[in-house]
Amino acid sequence: MEAILVLEDGTVFEGRSIGQPRRTLGEVVFDTAMVGYQQCLTDPSFRGQILTFTYPLIGNYGANTEDFESSICQAAGVVVREACGEPSNFRSEGGLGEFLEEHGIVGIAGVDTRALTRKLRSAGVMMGAISTDESAGEVLRRIKESPSYDEIDLVEQVSTQTPYEWQPGIATGKAQPQMDFEHRLKIVCIDYGMRDSILKNLHAVGCRCIVMPCKATSDQVLEEKPDGVLLSPGPGDPKRLTYAVECVKGLLGQVPIFGICLGNQMLATALGGTTFKLKFGHRGGNHPVKDLKTGRVTITSQNHGYAVDPQSVEGSGAVVSRINLNDETVEGLECEGLRAFSIQYHAEASPGPLDSRGIFKQFVDRIREPHRWVEIEPEIH
Amino acid sequence: MPRRTDLKKVMVIGSGPIVIGQAAEFDYAGTQACKALREEGMEVVLINSNPATIMTDTNMAERIYVEPLTLEFAARIIEQERPEGLLGTLGGQTGLNLATQLARAGVLDRFEVDLLGTSLGAIERAEDRDRFRETMRAIGEPVPDSAIIHTIEEAIEFSRTIGFPVIVRPAYTLGGTGGGIAWDEEQLRDICERGLKMSMIRQILLEQCVIGWKEIEYEVMRDAADTCITVCSMENLDPMGIHTGDSIVTAPAQTLGDQEYQMLRTASLKIIRALGIEGGCNIQFALNPHSYEYYVIEVNPRVSRSSALASKATGYPIARVAAKIAVGLRLDEIPNAVTQKTLACFEPTIDYVVVKIPRWPFDKFALADRTVGTQMKATGEVMAIDRTFEAALLKGVRSLEIGAYGLRSKTVSQWGEMQVEQCLREATDERLFAVAEAFRRGMMVQEVAELSRIDPWFLQKIKNIVDLEGEIRKAGPDGLTDELLTRAKRCSFSDHEIADMLRISAPELRGRRAGLKLIPPYKMVDTCAAEFEAVTPYYYSTYETECEVEVAEKPRVIVIGAGPIRIGQGIEFDYCTVHAVWALHEEGYQSIIINNNPETVSTDFDTSDKLYFEPITEEDTLHIIRREKPEGVVVQFGGQTAINLAGVFHANGVTILGTQFEGIDVAEDRDRFEQMLGELDISKTPGRGVTSAQQAAETARDIGYPVLVRPSYVLGGRAMEIVYSEEELLSYMHLATDVSPRHPILVDKYVVGTELEVDLICDGKEVLIPAIMEHIERAGVHSGDSMAVCPPVSLSREVQETVVDYSARLAKALDVRGLMNIQFVLDGNQTLYVLEVNPRASRTVPYLSKVTGIPMVNVATKCMLGRKLRELGYEPGLFPARPYYAVKAPVFSFSKLTEVDINLGPEMKSTGEIMGIDPDYSKALYKAMVASGVGVPSRGTLIATIADRDKEDASELIREFTELGFRVYATAGTQRHLERAGVTATPVKKISEGSPNIIDLVRSGEIDLVLNTLSPERNPEREGARIRRASVELNIPCLTSLDTARALLLALSSRKEGEEFPLVPINEFAEVTGPAA
């Protein structure tokens, strides 16, 4: 079946329908990672977005029941050059097409995704829609009539409504030494769009994780008497999340805090900083991040459309600890005095390089040995 | 850390001659490194024996030594130059080994030279088998188990610890002779028994076998601050068991999910850190297709063929960055030259599929063993880029220039079922075609996967191509819908292939496409999947919507490259292509290259103003020409690949710069050429073009035997033979018809004499002859395989004048603009005959450019653009000879190609060449022989087994060897002859005479030199072949031409005790002697 992708500026791309043959709408973004499409599609941070993969062959190794970052497929739609019909991998339980269909995702294949990427790179990300049963004009009208990405509170949509304690499910990777329950640190994870791999990583370094809704207040969080708080990644414009910022303000200084991605932006905002929208975001597995303390550069996995304004955090007690080497945007904050720190990239990877996983251990070490907040801590490889 | 300020002068080691396994990729790497170092303000001292390289050009380094890559020569250069640093990781295994030798011999310490980049310790940890395993075990990275055993019992005991299958490799046998894979104990017993017998030292290496596992490679970089990145992952289509150089390779890896990909990536970073490499390295893994289990197979602690491929596949210049790291820069201090906005400290991501296919020499070596396995046999490779695997694969296949435009092979289609299955199981160069044939015959993906162990993902893609073939054939010319044609083109089916299947003409199909506006746009290779704007115009075609090419305002010229490296068409043509581009640049043109060889300097991102990484076929080049609308196209520098397109361009109204099609055609058309020679009153060896066996026999009777027979329109003397009788001639004709059916067979009188060669430049009016080359072996040995010296050593003034006169007249008659190569033979009566002319740059152009100091390609290119020799500062005529001799010597790769006879003849067999240069002829010879790896035994024992017709000549020669202190063994006939001539020789039995015989003697290790000349009779010849083969296996120099032996004698006589050679950089040779003396 034929399908079209229409952008807000009227550009039309023709292709074939994959997944569910119906209509969808979202912010059109591109991701440059060459592997890890299933993890991306199930990442809550892609909620509300139509995800374009720049690598042309998607679906080569199929899909399975393990590589989920959340319980459902989150992206609003998917755009590929070629969807592989006959995957080959020992873990494959089905093809990409079946996977999308099963999860009700609308997709389009056969698109000149490089042309689309170049468009988004020069014009910036924009709203768009995929359709199998409308004319381009009709789709364009639909886009104009719909609220834009920045106007929706997507975090509310993806967050858990009730607190729960996360239980390690399917063990992945190497077996971790078992640790007695009482020796584990209790971490409250505020769910703006929590990813399973963060919970797995925290578990692996000796934490038990209580996941709380995005609208939890600082009092509710502190009632749990956590050893530390993790601010999760998530979708959408951080400026909308005043309730979340209030919560973080209430937690600052009370408990050690570690923010990832949107969590980094929440921490910055709570400290009085501001954020701005990047032209086309950072999405991929090849972003170089420099640790300004050690001088070491690490290749990281990223997925964000907004960044912290470095000037806005000056004098807030936080310092910019890491920067992106491509565009020098903020990739991390350190706030020793308030025992809070954060990173803009995904140390949990999945997909992407595992080089920064040591940062979870660093969080735990800092909780256990507070003097470590001031030490230069090279990341563990 | 900024770059080290203590380094002012750095020495770089090149990789020497082209051999199988070490090709142009190291000129590419070395050139990048030299440029990178000079950018940092360093003075570069270079040593490389290969003159056909860009890196040995005077604009690449301050001081260039074209000298043998041996410890002795390198040490002396270090002593003379006193560099502060040495970079040994960019010259392949040759460079790495030499750097290691220099360090171990204490040379580096003595002269306080710092080994830059990767340290000696790191090299040893990666290269030494035991230390490597120790290091891997210490960091928990798995390596396959292996053991050295001496008895069958030991083998069986070891197999119990590792399980089956087991790889058995006898020590010191060539190409794995006597080895194999044992799947059970019984097989292990059999193979070990055989292997122990074959092994000279009765020793076998047993290794855990991971045959059939996925072979995955990562290119990794690390700087002194411990920042590590992976540049590229690659997956071999041919799984473990086939050398990666002989495998079809894709980038990025196609069948790995994020879990496996990151697992191996993380392991790669751990490994490069544990080894302590500063720079780049290549890591190979075997990955179980059914689990996460993997093994680290090998690490190359240097740039490699794979790193060249990864660089071209991603746009990331690994060698350049490695050189910068070596002098202290950190990854985040090096700009990304492709985007010029980002830094070298990131990981490239690509938005296309890259396929590399090896180019094997079996078209030339009909008798060679074509199976591919752990011993690499390919001489070169092609790379293709497109947005799907199918399209990239098809582009790659037609880039190979093996007569295939798709996956159909006439040969394979005639195979029986058994033969197809056998080829799936045991790979040969034709396996890709066999896989396609299997699908054509209805086999299922799973069946083919089981036989071939190729991952079903790749097989399915090949099947998609075959299925589309079927659709096209079924549709027929009338049923071919626009939709189907579009699909076929998106899959990169060539017009040639589609038209052939539909039995219509390619131009007809092209016409139909034009009507549909079905022409390919071009996309850019930018290291970042379009995330950032890139400035490097490096393009590939793909049938999608958006075209990224911007046609320049300024005048443009397209230079057609030479494609993959093969015997007869090597790195020399890449040298010419690169120089042409530089000359165009100087003249204010935008230069555009079309080429598909990832190993070369010409396909480096900053060589030309624009690069199209495309197959060099009629269709693919015309698409680019139509889009770029250049002022002209240059076909003179890309070897036969480029010149063969002259007719196509002419017919399509494309302007050819330089010699026009008319001249090219006269030069290559036998009859027209002879007619022209007649008009010019220039002698040619008598002969004729024939199309039947009968005609051939008549011609040979007319002109008299021996005759030289060969097909017309050939390169590297393909299928050329000297024939002594009618019987032989008829059998040749019988075999030769298939070689080149569209062109006649040439039968020429074989003139015994001295071969001369000239490369001239003509501006349309006047002719410059930079030098005359004299071949050391007499005519009959292919010019590419013979040693040559310049200036000539035995030519009279009259002969030289005749050469100049003939050359000038030929050039004018053919209206040459640019370069032309002429080969002559001078017979005993001092009569000069023209053997052939090539209206293009030849193999010897780089060598002559270096010898004479004339930038020949530069001058020729400018002449093509209309400049005159005189205005460029050159007087016409023979350029005055310089007061030194330059000897060019061929280098062979026989140790890699089993079952290829090493005797020299009219068929070219060498893969590379080197140069020896010295004011003294005999010393130049000596250097050439040392550099070519002949071994140059200064005394010892030689075996002589000489054909009857050479016995007379040989006696005198062997006497001289005895005078130098050689002991001589000879077979009965030769021995008797020697005795009569008063030369003492010990008789040795022929193989047919029982043991101990000549082979036993060769194997005994006592022998330093073998002299064996080819006998026209069959039985002695068969024996000769075995002796020659044995000498290759034991690495004993074996000379098959008495002329070479004579040259060796002369070289040896130059080597007086204690005397040292002056070592002068070639930049100074030119300065010392001045231009026209």
- Model confidence pLDDT, tens digit, residues B689-746: 888 888 889 999 999 998 988 876 554 555 678 888 888 888 888 766 554 556 678 8
CB contact under 8 A, A286 and B350: no
Q: Tell me the mean pLDDT in the region B638-658.
A: 97
Structure tokens at B853: 């100091």
Asked if pLDDT for residue A380 goes beyond 60, the answer is no
- The reply to whether A98 belongs to the active site is no
d(CA B329, CA B342): 16
Contacts of A81 (CB under 8 A, 6+ apart): A53, A56, A57, A58, A109, A110, A111, A112, A113, A114, B387, B388
pLDDT of residue A340: 97
- Using an 8 Å CB-CB cutoff, list chain B residues near A286: 346-349, 528
Q: Tell me the mean pLDDT in the region B293-312.
A: 94
Structure tokens at B370: 């074509």
Asked if pLDDT for residue A170 goes beyond 60, the answer is no
Asked if pLDDT for residue B678 goes beyond 80, the answer is yes
User: Which of A32, A87, A353 is closest, CB to CB, to B262?
Assistant: A353
Top pLDDT among A194 and B719 is at A194
Structure tokens at B1009: 């030199």
d(CA B891, CA B913): 5
d(CA A370, CA A375): 10
Are the beta carbons of A220 and A212 closer than 8 angstroms? yes
Task: Give B326-350 as a DSSP string.
Answer: HTT--GGGSB-TTTSSSBSSS--B-
Asked if pLDDT for residue B174 goes beyond 80, the answer is no
Asked if pLDDT for residue B936 goes beyond 80, the answer is no
What is the torsion angle, in degrees rounded to the nearest 10, for the CA atoms of residue B218, residue B223, residue B226 and residue B230?
Answer: -20
Strand-pairing partners, residue B996, are none
User: Which of B230, B254, B332 is closest, CB to CB, to A290?
Assistant: B332
Neighbours of B980 (CB within 10 A): 10
State chain B's mean pLDDT as an integer: 91
What is the torsion angle, in degrees rounded to the nearest 10, for the CA atoms of residue A15, residue A19, residue A22 and residue A23?
Answer: -70
The overall pTM is greater than 0.90:
yes
Confidence of residue B641 (pLDDT cuts 50, 70, 90): very high
What beta strand segments (E) does B740-791 contain? Answer: 745-749, 753-763, 767-769, 772-775, 788-790
CB contact under 8 A, B351 and A114: yes
DSSP annotation of A346 reads B
CATH of domain A2-148: 3.50.30.20
What is the share, in percent, of chain B residues with pLDDT greater than 90?
Answer: 73
pLDDT of residue B1074: 41
Are the beta carbons of A347 and A356 closer than 8 angstroms? yes
Which CA distances in Å does B299 have to A271, B125, B127, B223, B233?
49, 10, 8, 17, 14
What angle do the packed helices B25-39 and B92-104 form, to 10 degrees?
Answer: 60
pLDDT of B113-124, one tens digit each? 999 988 999 999
Least confident of A263-267, B128-132, B226-230, B1051-1055: B1051-1055
pLDDT of residue B1077: 32
CB contact under 8 A, B257 and A325: no
B961: nearest Cα among B944, B980, B949, B979: B944
Neighbours of B727 (CB within 10 A): 9
Give the closest-approach CA distance of A236 to chain B in angstroms: 21
- First-residue to last-residue Cα distance in chain A: 48
Contacts of B866 (CB under 8 A, 6+ apart): none
d(CA B650, CA B635): 11
Q: Which residue of A has its CA nearest to B528?
A: A32
pLDDT of residue B576: 98
Q: Tell me the mean pLDDT in the region B618-622.
A: 97
A135: nearest Cα among A243, A315, A307, A14: A14
- First-residue to last-residue Cα distance in chain B: 49
Handedness of CA B959, B965, B966, B971 (dihedral sign): positive
- Using an 8 Å CB-CB cutoff, list chain A residues near B346: 286-288, 299, 325-326
CB contact under 8 A, A351 and B226: no
Using DSSP bridges, classify how beta strands B1009-1012 and B1038-1039 pair: parallel, antiparallel or unpaired.
Answer: parallel
pLDDT of B824-872, one tens digit each? 999 989 999 999 899 999 999 999 999 999 999 999 999 999 999 999 9
- The reply to whether A261 belongs to the active site is yes
Q: Tell me the mean pLDDT in the region A308-331.
A: 95
Are the beta carbons of B814 and B840 closer than 8 angstroms? no
Q: Tell me the mean pLDDT in the region B811-826.
A: 97
User: Which of A57, A290, A296 is closest, CB to CB, to B226?
Assistant: A296
- The reply to whether A209 belongs to the active site is no
Q: Tell me the mean pLDDT in the region A273-288.
A: 97
CATH of domain A155-373: 3.40.50.880
Are the beta carbons of B775 and B757 closer than 8 angstroms? yes
Q: Tell me the mean pLDDT in the region B760-784.
A: 94
Top pLDDT among A98 and B205 is at A98
Can you tell me which residue has the tokens 């890896």?
Answer: B253
Top pLDDT among B848 and B898 is at B848
Give the closest-approach CA distance of A247 to chain B in angstroms: 35
Confidence of residue B512 (pLDDT cuts 50, 70, 90): very high
Neighbours of B511 (CB within 10 A): 10
User: Alpha helix locations (H) across A301-353?
Assistant: none
Tell me the CB-side half-sphere exposure of residue B33, using CA atoms within 13 A.
Answer: 37
Q: Tell me the mean pLDDT in the region B305-313.
A: 96
Residue of A8, A27, A334, A348 with catalytic role: A348
Q: Is it true that A2-148 and A155-373 share their CATH fold?
A: no
Q: Which residue of B has its CA nearest to A280?
A: B531
What domains are there in chain B, each with its CATH number?
9-118 (3.40.50.20), 127-139+211-301+304-348 (3.30.470.20), 146-208 (3.30.1490.20), 356-516 (1.10.1030.10), 522-657 (3.40.50.20), 753-934+1047-1077 (3.30.470.20), 937-1036 (3.40.50.1380)
d(CA B7, CA B83): 8
pLDDT of residue A174: 45
d(CA B306, CA B297): 15
Residue of A203, A282, A304, A346 with catalytic role: A346
Give the closest-approach CA distance of A286 to chain B in angstroms: 5
Question: Any idea where the domains of chain A sit in the sequence?
Answer: 2-148, 155-373
Q: Tell me the mean pLDDT in the region B316-340.
A: 93
Q: Is the peptide bond before B520 cis (omega within 30 degrees of 0)?
A: no
Contacts of B952 (CB under 8 A, 6+ apart): none
d(CA B158, CA B337): 52
pLDDT of residue B718: 55
Q: Tell me the mean pLDDT in the region A340-366.
A: 96
Confidence of residue B1027 (pLDDT cuts 50, 70, 90): confident
Asked if pLDDT for residue B248 goes beyond 80, the answer is yes
- Using an 8 Å CB-CB cutoff, list chain A residues near B261: 35-36
- Using an 8 Å CB-CB cutoff, list chain B residues near A298: 227
User: Which of A13, A32, A112 is closest, CB to CB, to B529?
Assistant: A32
Asked if pLDDT for residue A94 goes beyond 90, the answer is yes
What is the torsion angle, in degrees rounded to the nearest 10, for the CA atoms of residue B131, residue B135, residue B137 and residue B143?
Answer: -70
What backbone torsions phi and psi does residue B194 show, to the nearest 5 degrees? -65, -45
Probe site for chain A from B531, B540, B543 (most A CB atoms < 10 A)? B531
B470: nearest Cα among B494, B429, B439: B439
Q: Which residue of A has its CA nearest to B524?
A: A114
Confidence of residue B1075 (pLDDT cuts 50, 70, 90): very low
CB contact under 8 A, B460 and A86: yes
What backbone torsions phi and psi does residue B386 show, to the nearest 5 degrees? -160, -175
d(CA B556, CA B675): 37
d(CA B239, CA B373): 10
Residue of A203, A261, A287, A304 with catalytic role: A261
d(CA A190, CA A255): 13
d(CA B761, CA A267): 73
User: Which of A35, A57, A81 is closest, CB to CB, to B261?
Assistant: A35
Neighbours of B523 (CB within 10 A): 26
Strand-pairing partners, residue A58, are A83
Between chain A and chain B, the number of residue pairs with CB atoms below 8 A apart is: 158
What is the share, in percent, of chain B residues with pLDDT greater than 70?
Answer: 96
Q: Which residue of A has its CA nearest to B261?
A: A35
Using DSSP bridges, classify how beta strands A228-231 and A257-260 pair: parallel, antiparallel or unpaired.
Answer: parallel
CB contact under 8 A, B350 and A114: no
pLDDT of residue B714: 53
A264: nearest Cα among A250, A279, A275, A253: A275
Q: Tell me the mean pLDDT in the region B591-597.
A: 98
d(CA B592, CA B821): 25
pLDDT of residue B63: 95
pLDDT of B513-528, one tens digit each? 999 999 999 999 999 9
